[in-house]
Amino acid sequence: MKHRALTLACAVTLTGAAWAETAPEAVSYDYGAVAESLSGAPGDPEAGRAVMVSRGLGNCIACHEVTALSDAPFHGEVGPMLDGAADRWTEAELRGIVANAKMMFDGTMMPAFYKTSGYIRPGDAFTGKAATEPLPPLLTAQQIEDVVAYLLTLKE
Amino acid sequence: MKNKMLRSVAVLVAVGLSAPVLADEDADLVINEEIEITVRAPAPDHTENLSEIFSGWVFRSAETQAMQMDDFDNPGMIGVESAMADWAAVDGSEGKSCASCHEDAETSMKGVRAVYPKWNEEAGEVRTLEMQINDCRTTRMGAEEWKWSGDDMVDMTALISSVSRGMPMNVAIDGPARETWEKGKEIYYTRYGQLELACANCHEDNYGNMIRADHLSQGQTNGFPVYRLKTASLNSTHKRFRGCIRDTRAETFAEGSPEFIALDLYVASRGNGLSVEGPSVRN
């Protein structure tokens, strides 16, 4: 509630002005965690929910089961269930995990969602054709914040 | 009669459930109540990270599994029939058909699929079935090459596979094939694309798990060519490799490329001990 009001107020006062966004290559990870909002703005949990289930965006449920998202079909079981994620991790840790989980879990299968280079044979989305780095990150700074805001609602 | 009943059960299941139907992972595969297929086997020594190997059939839904139990229900057998006509048809400048030299495919091609890809001494290269077929077409028949994943080619590999069904996969990885095998192994463990995923992430570390709506298998190739219900067509190994790499948001390799030939040999070797199954049925 508080967040909503804040987002709205800011949106009104700052229309057109850019937030202080942190570029993917400028993110600083502290033991895998990222303290500051990547977009400079708070996240919207409703938008984050949509990113989590969308195949073209986060597609988080391809690998994770989330009880609160059971209305979306087909949850995978490659990663741990995310119920109670907010009890296990702080906001900064969740931000770090979503931005680049490899900083928190060495060699993890979870993709880095806020990264633009350092890939082997990077492709142009799902076309199978070559793409030149830097690539657009899988999620924007604001989408990461939205997902983090959603994850923070997952309490048991 | 039994088959009819099976089919109507399959229809009921298909109508009743929208969620993916989980496989009967303990089921056994016998084709035409006659050909016993080994769908589980101890992993070969060179597949260090697995103790047991499984055919992709094991992970499919009960109704998909059933389609492979009888050749009348297996849509891939239509490709086999069509290849039988090609087998006997004269083509090219030499006025020959496959049958001119190889006579009856059922006898002459028995056991061939089980040892491919295979080192060819004269050519000094590892050859897949596709390469060997095209070599016969161009150098011995004076005929045009077939496209790697063209219908005529995939159908012919289905015919050649079908006569070895039930025989254990047994590709050689030592001697001169070793170098190609090592290259294939390296590709298998490389994390490609923006999703940074290797074959091993999905097919070695996570077989048996769901990834969104898909039930992950070990990505074995003993069932190839595979009739996919999704595309309603027979598919080559290289077409499947291409799809899997594309799905990691990577630049794929081409069908018939040295990389895919190496990968083909390596992946086939991981299935040594499983039966030749092609043409198999998958979703």
Smallest Cα distance from A3 to chain B, Å = 32
Measured between beta carbons, the chain A residues lying within 8 angstroms of B20 are 74
Measured between beta carbons, the chain B residues lying within 8 angstroms of A78 are 206, 209-211
Do residues B267 and B46 lie in contact, with contact meaning Cβ atoms separated by under 8 Å?
no
- CB-CB under 8 Å, B194 with A120: no
Do residues B7 and B73 lie in contact, with contact meaning Cβ atoms separated by under 8 Å?
yes
- CB-CB under 8 Å, A74 with B20: yes
In chain A, what are the domains?
A: 20-151 (1.10.760.10)
Check residue B22 and give its pLDDT: 64
Check residue B5 and give its pLDDT: 35
Do residues A112 and A144 lie in contact, with contact meaning Cβ atoms separated by under 8 Å?
no
Task: Return d(Cα A95, Cα A74) in angstroms, integer.
Answer: 25
pLDDT band at A20 (very low <50, low <70, confident <90, very high): confident
State pTM to two decimals.
0.93
Measured between beta carbons, the chain B residues lying within 8 angstroms of A129 are 251
Q: Can you count the helices (H) and strands (E) in chain B?
A: 11, 11
Task: Return d(Cα B10, Cα B61) in angstroms, integer.
Answer: 10
CB pairs under 8 A between A and B: 80
β-sheet bridge partners, residue B125: B120
Task: Return d(Cα B131, Cα B108) in angstroms, integer.
Answer: 18
- CB-CB under 8 Å, B249 with A74: no
Please identify every residue of B annotated as catalytic. Answer: 244
Identify the closest residue of chain B to A133 by CA–CA distance. B194
Indicate the residue type of A114: Y
Residue with structure tokens 């898909």?
Answer: B214
Task: Return d(Cα B75, Cα B55) in angstroms, integer.
Answer: 19
* 3-class SS of residue A18: coil
Report CA torsion sign: B155, B157, B158, B162: positive
Smallest Cα distance from A98 to chain B, Å = 13
Q: Which of A109, A123, A138 sits opposite B251 (nearest CB)?
A: A123
Chain B residues near any Cβ of chain A (below 8 Å) = 18-20, 190-197, 201, 205-206, 209-213, 242, 245-252
Smallest Cα distance from B259 to chain A, Å = 13
pLDDT tens by residue, chain B, 283 residues = 333 333 333 333 333 334 455 667 788 999 999 999 999 999 999 999 999 999 999 999 999 999 999 999 999 999 999 999 999 999 999 999 999 999 999 999 999 999 999 999 999 999 999 999 999 999 999 999 999 999 999 999 999 999 999 999 999 999 999 999 999 999 999 999 999 999 999 999 999 999 999 999 999 999 999 999 999 999 999 999 999 999 999 999 999 999 999 999 999 999 999 999 999 999 9
Q: What ipTM was assigned to the predicted interfaces of this complex? A: 0.88
Task: Return d(Cα B52, Cα A52) in angstroms, integer.
Answer: 35
Check residue B14 and give its pLDDT: 37
Identify the closest residue of chain A to B205 by CA–CA distance. A78
Residue with structure tokens 């490899």?
Answer: A102
Contacts of B226 (CB under 8 A, 6+ apart): B56, B76, B234, B235, B240, B278, B279, B280, B281, B282
